[in-house]
Structure 1
Amino acid sequence: MSQLPELVIAHGTVVNSSGRRNAHVVVRDGRIEQLIDATEPVPAALRTIDAAGRLVVPGGVDGHCHVAQVTGRFRTLDDYRTTSIAALWGGTTTIIDFGIPRDAQETPLAAALHKKELARESRCDVALHGSVVSWDETVPWQLEQLAAEGVRSVKMYTTNRGTTMADGDTILKVMREMVRLDGLTYIHAEHDPIISDCTRQHADDGRIGIEHLHRTRPELAEEISVKETLAMAEYTNAPVYFVHQSTPGAVDLVTEARARGLEAYSETCPHYLTLDETVYGSAFPEWYACCPPMRSAETVAALNNRLAGGAIHTVSSDHSCYDLSQKRERTDDIRAMPHGLPGVETRMPVTFTAMAESGSSVEDFVEVFAAGPARINAVPAKGAVAEGFDADLVVFDPAEERTVDGGALHMGTDFSPFDGRTLTGWPAVVVSAGRVVLDDGGFHDPGAAGRFVARNGFREHLSSAAASAPSNVPAAH
């Protein structure tokens, strides 16, 4: 057996969220064994990749993906094989999916275990969030079982009445349990009574087609739901994470709560940073059917300012793989069409381009793309190019431009909301658990090599990360 390391990435500029250095990255047995100053000779290895003139960043951690998701009569068209391959093409080496009950008969525990079984086909590493729709006396036990499985977060929706919505009593009770189990509460925050009333008024006026989506879900509905949820989090002392925030007002509410000592986090998505509500007047408005909808150009600019200022903690894809035939079934009625966009493959270049345009550094990008999602979601050994961490790595040239061709992507659908856009920050080399899966020779399918990642307790992980972080890895904040 060879004593040589399997891989060395030589002469690259290694960028973590805390800083950068020129180094050779030595990989052995799926882990980063050593970082050697680039002025030193390149160590011998079974394979060497020259990264001179390029950046080496940690593989992405996408904290918000929906794989093989069933919602009502619609099912996304992907599976773990497809979505994980697309993730790797896009520089993401770990995805976090949701075990959301498919109907009232499926329990939160069963939903998560079902997804864990499906994830055996994944090409990249996978973690899971649980989800609770309604409270009963079995929920505390189910959440204990999920925690024992390494599922340490639970998502709840404050809208979608009749399908995935959890009422206020359920949210508060689950928050208490997540505190007890050292977990994290995820919230889709949109005020259901406001949305229901606004949608009904538009329907009564005959303005219920996809071109009116952005008018039926006002910014106020998102912000008042964030405010109410923060009050419950403050009352229960529960850490809370808000998915896909689309308004600066929602982000500001989280910032203010953090200033009062709450453990609260803001996530946004690439489409909210780059697309505005004028897309609903385009030739293909169904390409942009998602909730919350796209906002005004002024809101988009302000959201980018919040990201540049560090108020947004993660950028996730909210990947949902419907195709145009599903989207076009009922473009006449937004209440009957599926909402969600494919984006796991384009998260890296869209986010990098948006952040570069707003003056953010590569370190800032690494924080929201990999380091922050790994730390906040308590995913061990992810989010940094550092000794002892998993060898999940991306090599790219920050100046290289490519134009998105939705039909040439790998997400299992026939469109991209970013089709035709010129972006920078595409991966040239992707290493997942020490395996080179993307290079100049194309994609190299590793097979069903992805691992299920059991997550740590939320506060336990932050304390451990703060105590043990090496100098080139950010401490918790």
Structure 2
Amino acid sequence: MKPDLVIADGLVVNASGTRNAHVVVDGRRVTAVVDASEPVPAAERVVDAAGRAVLPGGVDGHCHVAQVTGRYRTLDDFASTSTAALWGGTTTILDFGIPRDSSESPLEAARNKIELARESRCDVALHGAVVDWDDTVPAQLEELAALGVRSVKMYLTNRGTTIASNDTVLKVMREMVRLDGLTYIHAEHDALIVDCTDRRAAAGEIGIEHLHQTRPEIAEEASVRETLAMAEYTGAPVYFVHQSTPRAVDLVAEARARGLAIHSETCPHYLVLDDGVYSSKFPEWFACCPPMRCAATVAALRERYAAGSVHTVSSDHSCYDLTQKRVRADDIRQMPHGLPGVETRMPVAFTALAEASAGVPEPRVLERFAELFSTGPARINALPGKGIIAPGYDADLVLFDPAETRTVDGAALHMGTDFSPFEGKRLRGWPQVVVSGGKVVLDEDGFHDPGPAGRFLARLGYREAAALGDPQPVPLAAMKGA
């Protein structure tokens, strides 16, 4: 019988190397990767890649879908966010089950998100979250692990809403070691931020144009140092979300050199935007935490991103609109922070990498991008079947021309909001064809809605997966029709 699909004559890019090949897909899986010197295999459908790059489908390890924080709720749902993800070449997203307030437990928050994710067009995995420790938390974390939720996020700032105390962080780290999980950390030193913000407020400098002055680089770096001490003390693997300074990345690199299991994530906006945006006509477009940094910091972060010190690039997608942003733009303590970005992650991140890798052969740049965009997030988050183009892996594929450029038009995007922080930027690396779960969902004819075809993915344990190396393929016996 003919396989369902062949991607013919593409430059197949894995983090481990590139080759000219045909990719054969049957059901949800890649069944063969055939050298391009061989004839194109017969199939129900053949897509001519015509020498374009073929990458593993993107894995975005940091998305906030239908998120409630204080008085604000993001405007998206899983149907809209997963659709935007597919438009952007991302075929797997990881969301957070963050308690909306003290009335919702970590386990309830996660179960609620798993139920909402039934509408997703792409595959979904989940991080848990703990705000306050009590005697029920260990059992809740055990149940989360049994569900395949093997990581827990904690915020070290956001006093009055989601902040976790150091006592809570330490206790959760111990539990995650016991349960073979991964601790996710939003690292900003709350006392420094509160003091700095209060001083600015006393001087009447509390509008959005002053955001970058209220959350200094030292607050991020101090929090990273403190967290690393707790990680070393407990032996807990830790993943730092949205690192925005080169020194924060260096601290992680130094800890890894001492043998700690620590990972750095950055986000596209920290690679291409600087704090000059807060002096622009629309500073509310850039309300996020941490804020954008000075141009010199951005340049140094890009160097580390290109050199391999950063392990993943994630969107930190948070879908507020400008009405929500502007209602309290006069007071950054009262406005929602977070940027829409799941759809633009691929072109922004690729453009930043290509520009920071001048003189590096293009195949090496593409391999590094595959690692940041897909393979690294799949490996660190213990997602079997993701992040690699090879027999037995999920048929999640992205075709793009590294030389093609397009200009960001926020109104033409699909994220359920009315702006993009990258409006007007000329970017490379836009997806032209996207295959998710073996189905072509984006091609020259536009988007083909697969319906609620996304699966909730149970993850392996952190050290269990690390012992196996790269994300593992699905067993061959389970490939057909799985």
**Cα displacement (A) at 1:466:** 5.2
SS for the counterpart of 1:246 is coil
The one-letter amino acid paired with 1:246 is: S
In the aligned structure 2, how far is the partner of 1:331 from the partner of 1:395?
Answer: 40
Match of 1:423 in 2: 427
Of 3, 8, 11, which residue of structure 1 is paired with 2:9?
A: 11
SS for the counterpart of 2:140 is helix
**Cα displacement (A) at 1:147:** 0.3
In the aligned structure 1, how far is the partner of 2:25 from the partner of 2:199?
Answer: 59
Match of 1:410 in 2: 414
The one-letter amino acid paired with 2:249 is: V
C-alpha offsets along residues 147-168 of structure 1, whole Å, 9 cap, x if unaligned?
0000000000000011100000
Match of 1:220 in 2: 218
Change (3 A) 1:345 1:458: same
Match of 2:280 in 1: 282
C-alpha offsets along residues 224-268 of structure 1, whole Å, 9 cap, x if unaligned?
000000000000000000000000010010000000000000000
Match runs of 1:103-122 below 5 Å: 103-122=101-120
RMSD (Å) for aligned C-alpha atoms: 1.0
Match of 2:480 in 1: none
In the aligned structure 1, how far is the partner of 2:302 from the partner of 2:245?
Answer: 10
In the aligned structure 2, how far is the partner of 1:304 from the partner of 1:468?
Answer: 30
The one-letter amino acid paired with 1:444 is: H
Match runs of 1:344-423 below 5 Å: 344-359=342-357, 361-423=365-427
**Cα displacement (A) at 1:465:** 2.6
Match runs of 1:286-305 below 5 Å: 286-305=284-303
In the aligned structure 2, how far is the partner of 1:261 from the partner of 1:464?
Answer: 18
In the aligned structure 1, how far is the partner of 2:200 from the partner of 2:459?
Answer: 43
Gaps of 5+ in 1: 471-477
**Cα displacement (A) at 1:468:** 6.4
Report % sequence identity. Answer: 73
SS for the counterpart of 2:289 is coil
Match runs of 1:62-461 below 5 Å: 62-359=60-357, 361-461=365-465
Change (3 A) 1:342 1:297: same
Across the two proteins, how many residue pairs are aligned to each other?
A: 468
In the aligned structure 1, how far is the partner of 2:59 from the partner of 2:220?
Answer: 25
* Runs of 4+ with deviation above 3 angstroms: 466-470
**Cα displacement (A) at 1:53:** 1.9
In the aligned structure 2, how far is the partner of 1:209 from the partner of 1:379?
Answer: 41
**Cα displacement (A) at 1:301:** 0.2
In the aligned structure 1, how far is the partner of 2:82 from the partner of 2:471?
Answer: 32
The one-letter amino acid paired with 2:381 is: N
SS for the counterpart of 1:35 is strand
**Cα displacement (A) at 1:460:** 0.5
Match runs of 1:460-475 below 5 Å: 460-465=464-469
The one-letter amino acid paired with 1:424 is: R
In the aligned structure 2, how far is the partner of 1:218 from the partner of 1:102?
Answer: 27
C-alpha offsets along residues 394-452 of structure 1, whole Å, 9 cap, x if unaligned?
00100011000001000000000000000010000000000100001100000000000
**Cα displacement (A) at 1:463:** 1.0
The one-letter amino acid paired with 1:382 is: K
SS for the counterpart of 1:336 is coil
Gaps of 5+ in 2: 475-482
The one-letter amino acid paired with 1:373 is: P
C-alpha offsets along residues 290-346 of structure 1, whole Å, 9 cap, x if unaligned?
000000000000000111110000000000000000000011000000000000000
**TM-score of the pair, normalised by structure 2:** 0.96
In the aligned structure 1, how far is the partner of 2:296 from the partner of 2:278?
Answer: 16
In the aligned structure 1, how far is the partner of 2:155 from the partner of 2:224?
Answer: 11
Contact 2:14/2:370 (<8 A) preserved: yes
SS for the counterpart of 1:26 is strand
SS for the counterpart of 1:335 is coil
The one-letter amino acid paired with 2:246 is: P
